[in-house]
Structure 1
Amino acid sequence: MRSIMNLAYVSVWIGLSGTVILYNKWILSYFGFPYPIALTMWHMFFSSCLAFICIKVGWVQGVDMSSQTYMKAVVPIGALFAGTLWLGNAAYLYLSVSFIQMLKALMPVAVFGVGCALKTETFSMDTLGNMIVVTIGVAIASYGEINFVVIGVVLQLLSVACESTRLTLVQILLQRRGLKLNPVTTMYYIAPCSFVFLCIPFAFIEMVPLYSNLMDGKIVLDFPVFISNAGAAFALNMAVFLLIGKTSALTMNIAGVVKDWMLIALSVLLFHSAVTPLNLGGYLVAFGGVCYYNYKKIQAMQAKQAQAVAAKAANVEAPLLGTKGLPVSTK
């Protein structure tokens, strides 16, 4: 029964993730709304409103958080979350969905690098060699990309850097403080913060041209499209936290491999993205490196669980001893 539920969580996440990625690509590149900051701001505003309603109405239990914790933990995470979404959406203006998924294979490399720098990951030559293989594979895929646009690649790499740093800070700033946020409370605190941070680049980059095009009638806001898009984005955020909470981050990483191949295929079918043999060859190298990385993570997790079970069994079997080595009465 548990396996069936885990499969359901994974399937929902893959479906929603693919939907949001393809939906965002369509809106930004084909629908005629090339404003990634505005789109991301709309997602954060929509998520903030829904989370606020869920908590204030009492559908979801809120979490008490001091202003000091909010400023030290939530604010930096919210800033990085804003950067991840904005830069990732902006990359869709220049690159195909298939190539972006190939670039996202660098996420374990970035997480490992940031984790080693911030002492959340243990450095090893074996892992370093694994990360080099992944990097080489992505480099080959990039070399074989027909529609290689430098600014698009830079934007996506910056998005990966923001996301890897955010994931590491979540572990340091939230988990170590003992804060347990459910999906709704996470969006309740982080989405408004991300919205505020997004207002800064929006004011300098998109506000004037967006307003001008709206006034000239060059852009028409189709509310069903934007509401359904934001609803899908909110549901995806819920699915991410649900998947990690009910299974593990490692499960999501492994499911992500399946999702990437699915999106590459859908990108070719729906948007006619050009994928060359060198693209696929390089990605296969990176894919192999990512699979090996996940395999080693599974081994480490199983070894840790085995040690915990053995330690628990030893504690149960060992007699309770006093200070002089005599059994202590448990009466």
Structure 2
Amino acid sequence: MGEMSSFQLGVIGALFLSVASSVSIVICNKALMSNLGFPFATTLTSWHLMVTFCTLHAAQRLNFFESKAVDVKTVMLFGILNGISIGLLNLSLGFNSIGFYQMTKLAIIPFTVLLETLFLKKQFSQKIKFSLFLLLVGVGIASVTDLQLNMVGTILSLLAIVTTCVGQILTNTIQKRLNVSSTQLLYQSAPFQAAVLFVSGPLVDQFLTKQNVFAYKYSPVVLAFIILSCLIAVSVNFSTFLVIGKTSPVTYQVLGHLKTCLVLGFGYTLLHDPFTERNIIGILVAICGMGLYSYFCTQENKKKQSGDLSLSSQLLSAGVSVLLNHSQGWGSTLLGREGNCLRWLKKKKKT
């Protein structure tokens, strides 16, 4: 029971850290890109990952965690896949409208459910599916505006959905299969993610913004916000791996849409973004869907735990009965042997 309560506290802490850090970095990056005119999102992400790796390397040298040897090929492919996923998401945003990009992000949840059902044989109840549907409807009402389709943008969005889903499923699967912590996996894969984005980031950003990141004039204020963004990103990357490892890719996506609602709310209160009744209704519906998802997941986990406990008690009682039967058999065998010995002694005395 103590281990279960500590696990639940760890999950709650990971969820809180993920929400707080993600909302913080969105507000920081929005100020950096919208107010200060620094539009190089992909290059900034590569800096995030490099700072994350350097921070984890320093923590590992100070013995805050132990570096575990894993299959280099697996981690390298995993890191490259995640790096490509980030680049494709940025390209999708560049080639599509904001509304279609939001639809791309919404499509990640049903596609993740589909992949886990087909390849991992994971079952999702009708209640869970209904709560996810309600969540997606709410976020769609709150955030999706115009839908402008084009062939290149649609292909990029599909590729972004596939790579993002596979990367998040692998994050959960690799941690369990290789028995590594979220910190260890992030430490091993961050250099490969950073390398992919460090090479492709300036090219992607120049293609999307028509500006060169190396020719940009960096003011002290811009540098301060970049450093702040990189520091917050360490917490974002760490909490992402932590949440997916402790829960599931679907739960992480649900949490991501909660962040979207919070960002919309913070944008209205802090940055005075335009806000309508549609946004309010959508956020309320999404929060209702998230609440139902959390409730149904909790109920199913309790049923699973009670089922495991009843199965364990049945196995224990079956084991005890088997031992008793064996002991009774041994006792009768010994008594039979003692009777044979007594009869043999009586025959000896008569002779």
Compared CA separation, residues 50 and 298, structure 1 to 2 (3 A): same
Aligned to 2:118: 117
Q: Is the 8 A contact 1:105 1:286 kept in 2?
A: no
- Alpha-carbon RMSD across the aligned residues, in angstroms, is 4.3
Aligned to 1:62: 67
Letter in 1 for 2:49: M
Compared CA separation, residues 142 and 51, structure 1 to 2 (3 A): closer
Q: Is 1:309 aligned with 2:309?
A: yes
Offset, 1:273: 2.6
Offset, 1:127: 5.2
Aligned to 2:78: 77
Compared CA separation, residues 198 and 63, structure 1 to 2 (3 A): same
Aligned to 1:198: 197
Matches of 2:17 and 2:198 in 1, distance apart? 31
Q: Is the 8 A contact 1:135 1:286 kept in 2?
A: yes
Letter in 1 for 2:171: V
Give me the identity figure in percent: 20
Offset, 1:118: 2.2
Offset, 1:316: 3.2
Matches of 2:161 and 2:284 in 1, distance apart? 20
Q: Is the 8 A contact 2:171 2:241 kept in 1?
A: no
Matches of 1:315 and 1:117 in 2, distance apart? 32
Aligned to 2:337: none
Q: Is 1:45 aligned with 2:50?
A: yes
Aligned to 2:276: 276
Offset, 1:22: 1.4
Aligned to 1:21: 26
Q: Is the 8 A contact 1:120 1:168 kept in 2?
A: no
From 27, 35, 40, the equivalent of 1:30 is 35
- The one-character-per-residue Cα deviations of 1:47-82 (angstroms, maximum 9, x if unpaired) are 1222222224434211012xxx222x3234323432
Gaps of 5+ in 2: 331-351
Q: Secondary structure at the match of 2:270?
A: helix
Matches of 2:298 and 2:60 in 1, distance apart? 36
Q: Is the 8 A contact 1:18 1:259 kept in 2?
A: yes
Offset, 1:21: 1.7
Offset, 1:210: 8.5
Aligned counterparts, 1:1-331, within 5 A: 10-65=15-70, 69-71=71-73, 73-86=74-87, 104=105, 106-122=107-123, 131-141=132-142, 145=145, 161-175=162-176, 177-183=177-183, 185-202=184-201, 204-206=203-205, 212=212, 214-215=214-215, 218-220=217-219, 222-242=222-242, 248-249=247-248, 259-320=259-320, 326-327=326-327
- The one-character-per-residue Cα deviations of 1:214-248 (angstroms, maximum 9, x if unpaired) are 44x54447433222211111022334445667x64
Q: Is 305-314 or 319-328 further displaced after alignment? A: 319-328
Offset, 1:279: 3.7
Offset, 1:294: 3.3
Matches of 1:294 and 1:242 in 2, distance apart? 18
Letter in 2 for 1:163: T
Compared CA separation, residues 190 and 34, structure 1 to 2 (3 A): same
Offset, 1:169: 1.8
Letter in 1 for 2:272: H
Q: Is 43-52 or 253-262 further displaced after alignment? A: 253-262
Matches of 1:204 and 1:311 in 2, distance apart? 57
Q: Secondary structure at the match of 1:326?
A: helix
Compared CA separation, residues 192 and 270, structure 1 to 2 (3 A): same
TM-score (norm 1): 0.74
Matches of 2:38 and 2:232 in 1, distance apart? 18
Q: Is 126-135 or 51-60 further displaced after alignment? A: 126-135
Compared CA separation, residues 62 and 218, structure 1 to 2 (3 A): closer
Q: Secondary structure at the match of 1:34?
A: coil
Higher helix share: 2
Matches of 1:115 and 1:76 in 2, distance apart? 20
Q: Is the 8 A contact 1:253 1:294 kept in 2?
A: no
